[in-house]
Amino acid sequence: MPERSRKIAVMGFQSVGKSTLCIQFVEGHFVDNYDPTIENTFHKKVKVRGEDYTLELVDTAGQDEYSTFPAQYSIGIHGYILVYSITSDKSFQVVQNLYRKLIDMIGKVHVPVVLVGNKTDLQKERVVSTEEGKRIAEMWGAMFIETTAKRRDTVSDVFTKVVLEIEKSEGTLSADAKCIVS
């Protein structure tokens, strides 16, 4: 069976770790330095429930509360990874604004989204609780995960979860489907 291609946008406030998550997933290492992104694209093959996928990850420029939703990310994108940092309340507010703008822009009630609370290695600096993150994701009907870009296993979970969300919304996978990353 031919590979399925899925395009995923990774969005959120600046410096929350969007690029670092993508690089950990695709290249398997943690990048310590900060280099603001304009836009980057990554590719990665994954196997989910026995099916081969080619993921195209669009690592977007950091958004803030004043940004309008970039129109180019409203078409041709199968799923969204919305990232905040558990150390930044501002990034948590920005991700909620971003979601509202996304829904308004797309004009659909349900869009495949995974909400990601990143930087869990910085527990002492945590200002957004796990419960708050979960509550927002439940309100959206989205999946939720906390991770640190330093851990390859939970970072992989972020990306496989978004594939599951996409497939669920297209009706091709059951909600309890298991996934494997290769």
Ligand X SMILES: Nc1nc2c(ncn2[C@@H]2O[C@H](COP(=O)(O)OP(=O)(O)OP(=O)(O)O)[C@@H](O)[C@H]2O)c(=O)[nH]1
* Residues in touch with ligand X (CB under 6 A): 14-20, 31-34, 36-37, 61-62, 118-119, 121-122, 148-150
Tell me how far, at minimum, the Cβ of 109 lies from ligand X, in Å: 27
> Between residues 30 and 177, which has the closer beta carbon with respect to ligand X?
30
Query: Smallest distance from the beta carbon of 48 to ligand X, in angstroms?
Result: 24
Q: Give the 3-state secondary structure of 46-66.
A: EEECCEEEEEEEEEECCECCC
Q: Which is nearer to ligand X, 17 or 112 (CB)?
A: 17
CB 71 to ligand X: min, Å: 18
Q: How far is CA 26 from CA 3, 50, 57, 125, in A?
A: 18, 20, 9, 27
Residue with Cβ nearer ligand X (161 or 167): 161
Q: Are 117 and 81 in contact (CB under 8 A)?
A: no
Separation between Cα atoms, residue 161 and residue 156, nearest integer Å: 9
Helices (H), 28-169: 89-106, 130-140, 152-169
Between CA 85 and CA 103 the distance in angstroms is: 22
Which of 53, 84 has the CB closer to ligand X?
84
Question: How near is the Cβ of 180 to ligand X at its closest, in Å?
Answer: 23
